[in-house]
Chain A
Amino acid sequence: MSLRRRLPFSPWHLALAPIAILFALPFAWMVISSLMSTAQINRFPPTIIPGSLHLEGWETVLGGAEFPRWFLNSTIVAVVTVISNLIFCSMAGYAFARLKFRGSTAIFLLILATLIIPFQITMIPTFIVMHDLHLSDTLGALIVPNLVTPFGVFLMRQFFLNLPIEVEEAARIDGCSRFGVLLHVATPLAKPALATLAALTFLVSWNELFWPLIVINTDSTFTLPVGLTTFQGAHSIDWPAVMAGNALTALPVVVAFLLTQRTFIASLTSSAVKG
């Protein structure tokens, strides 16, 4: 009580501010060291506050052939995956929510069940399938298995189930086919769910390391996470460049997160809290 009266701010800040800084500090260090020279870092013990700024690290990363290529690859994979998930998960989710057809319950339950199947048991056969489709070592191998995800189908189905059905019926009477209803009425109303789906799909796709590591062998086909870990292995002396590459990999998700924080957080919590 007395503490609160003496402080011009809530005493909670005394605990929360240092913790928050602890979470942010590594990123600050990442950015600072990406702006140092190798000489500044290679000194022992290394400098913490650099006297001067150097752009060599960023030049290595942005001027080289590798990182821009990886950035492009990551972008292609993420964009295609997000768009195809929006389309295919909506379609499947809508069908499971609204259309009556033989086996709909059984198929939906089967799709739902795949949610708990861990990746380790499917990865070897999937690798062989990609090989047989002549997709291994191409971006196609990263895109095809993620074109549509069970979580997305589940999410969209839940959402469509909760839309008032009369609005869709009105559209059918007004002249829409089933697909027209989805296109003109259900999808515009599903914007919040689509935003959630887009945010999560992007996040997972952009950050994925394990699967690309398995199917991609060629440098020029790497995505950023694979490229980054490989680059670090090869250039562990050039820390400024590694940190610049690191920052470059982190940047899109951090920016996307800061711009659409509400959607992101809603997406992350929706699966857990609402179940």
Chain B
Amino acid sequence: MPGVTLERITKVYGGGVKAVDDVSMAIGDAEYMVLVGPSGCGKSTLLRMVAGLEKVTAGRILIGGDDATDLEPRDRDIAMVFQSYALYPHKTVRENLAFGLRRRRVPSDEIRTKVDAMGAMLGLAELMDRKPAALSGGQRQRVAMGRALVREPRVFLLDEPLSNLDAKLRTSMRGELARLHERLPTTTIYVTHDQVEAMTLGSRVAVMRDGVVQQCDSPQVLFDRPANLFVGAFIGAPAMNLVEARVGGGAIHFGSHALGAPGLEELGDRRLVLGLRPTCFALADERCDPRWPRLSAEVDVVEELGAESNLLFTVDAPPVLSDAVREAIGGESGSDEGRLLADDRRARFTAQIAERRAARAGERVELAMDPTQLHLFDPASGEAVEWSWSLVHTA
């Protein structure tokens, strides 16, 4: 069976750091698997173990159905693109592309044909005799891609290949990568900490935290049915609105608000974390589904994005400040924000309304919410709490 299979992979570094903890996954042939997670969660470590650059502490790696756990990188028939590109500085672009083929004793006329074809495909034809130092960041990135692709490996590994590019180039390159995969479907593992990249590129996305895979599924499922609070908070931009709430009497209560939705009775009476996607909001008017729960809010700030607007408001209920959320939202700014909010005990919400000039700052608006984009999590474990209604409507 082609593809890559990881069986209970664990990595403990010399200092006792457990970077990857008992990870299993099966990546199918030509599948595009993205590993995503905050800095230090072990994505690179996992990828480097597939590459053979790090030894596994425990577990097995199968590449194309064969045990590759103890193989040297060169015997695994993989190619890798590094964040720093890692081009050979003393070799020209042509030599960089040809190096791997040459090591594999490919006949030189075949090398020439393949390298020229790859150069033409990636628009490097004019740059073939330059050294990497004489290339721009984007060009280097393309050479790094070309060097990996020209080998036609069984597995293609990329470790944050776009993060050294400026924002605009990154977006266009993202599209290029997706198109490339259409043209040359190869099993791919792609590491990033950028969830937009993850969602747009991956046929499946594995969200990692502290060396553990939290959830591994298609981008749509990750978005619609996050398995836990961490995944919910990490996936989606703007981030999911989270607030401490209580369910009881068939409604969800937080602050002075109460949201009713069918089927909530079965959850009984308990404390929960409520998560609302910014996209679940709409202005409550006659076009709205009358069954959708409503919420009235005073808008603090309006961000006009052209075709849509973000309404920022606060609700009179405590924000969620668990470690999972803090890690998902990101290091410094997350914890700073946490402290600020802890003072006023009010959660900040963002509503993304698909209308231009949806409201003015200071205005009080009535918002309706799509209950299918409403998520409940257990406050202690962080696990998603599912109830029959939500399941029916997202299936």
Contacts and interface: CB of A to CB of B under 8 A. Distances in A.
Contact, chains A and B (beta carbon distance below 8 A) = yes
Contacts of A213: none
A184 B89 CA distance: 12
A173 B99 contact: no
Contacts of B72: 172, 177
A166 B147 CA distance: 14
Nearest to B83: A166
B74 A177 contact: yes
B100 A174 contact: yes
Interface in B147-205: 147, 151
A178 to B, nearest CB: 9
A234 B87 CA distance: 61
B104 A175 contact: yes
A171 B51 contact: no
Contacts of B80: 169-170, 173
A172 B53 contact: yes
Nearest to B157: A173
Contacts, number: 60
A167 interface: yes
A188 interface: yes
A180 interface: yes
A175 B84 contact: no
A171 B82 CA distance: 12
B82 A170 contact: yes
Nearest to B78: A173
A185 B87 CA distance: 10
A180 B74 CA distance: 11
Contacts of A175: 74, 100, 103-104
A118 interface: no
Contacts of B79: 173-174
A106 B321 CA distance: 48
Nearest to B91: A188
A164 interface: yes
A173 B80 CA distance: 7
B100 A166 contact: no
Interface in B70-122: 72-74, 76, 78-80, 82-84, 86-90, 99-100, 103-104
Contacts of A203: none
Interface string A151-172: 0000000000000101101111
B74 A174 contact: yes
Interface in A175-207: 175-177, 180, 184-185, 188-189
B74 A164 contact: no
Contacts of B76: 173
A64 B291 CA distance: 114
B74 to A, nearest CB: 4
A167 B86 contact: yes
A172 B86 contact: no
A171 B88 contact: yes
Contacts of A177: 72, 74
Contacts of A189: 89-90
Given A175-B100, A175-B104, A170 B74 contact: no
A191 to B, nearest CB: 8
B86 A176 contact: no
B88 A170 contact: yes
A172 B74 contact: yes
B103 A166 contact: no
Nearest to B90: A188
B51 A167 contact: no
B151 A166 contact: no
A164 B103 contact: no
Contact of A174 (B52, B90, B151): B151
Given A164-B84, A174-B151, A175-B103, A169 B89 contact: no
Given A166-B84, A169-B82, A176 B89 contact: no
A162 to B, nearest CB: 13
A176 B82 contact: no
A173 B100 CA distance: 8
B87 A167 contact: yes
B53 A167 contact: no
Interface in B21-55: 51-53
A172 B78 CA distance: 10
Interface in B56-80: 72-74, 76, 78-80
Question: Looking at B74, B83, B89, B151, which has the most chain A CB atoms within 10 Å of its CB?
Answer: B74
B258 to A, nearest CB: 55
A170 B151 contact: no
Contacts of A166: 82-84, 86
Interface in A117-170: 164, 166-167, 169-170
Contacts of B87: 167, 170
A175 B90 CA distance: 18
Question: Looking at B72, B78, B103, which has the most chain A CB atoms within 10 Å of its CB?
Answer: B103
Nearest to A170: B86
A176 B105 CA distance: 12
B308 to A, nearest CB: 41
Contacts of B100: 173-175
A41 to B, nearest CB: 54
Contacts of B74: 172-177
B51 A173 contact: yes
B86 A169 contact: yes
B103 A176 contact: yes
A177 B78 CA distance: 15
A180 B88 CA distance: 14
9 contacts: A164-B86, A166-B83, A170-B82, A173-B51, A175-B74, A185-B88, A188-B90, A189-B89, A189-B90
Given A174-B79, A175-B74, 9 more contacts: A166-B83, A167-B86, A167-B88, A169-B51, A172-B53, A172-B74, A173-B78, A173-B79, A185-B88
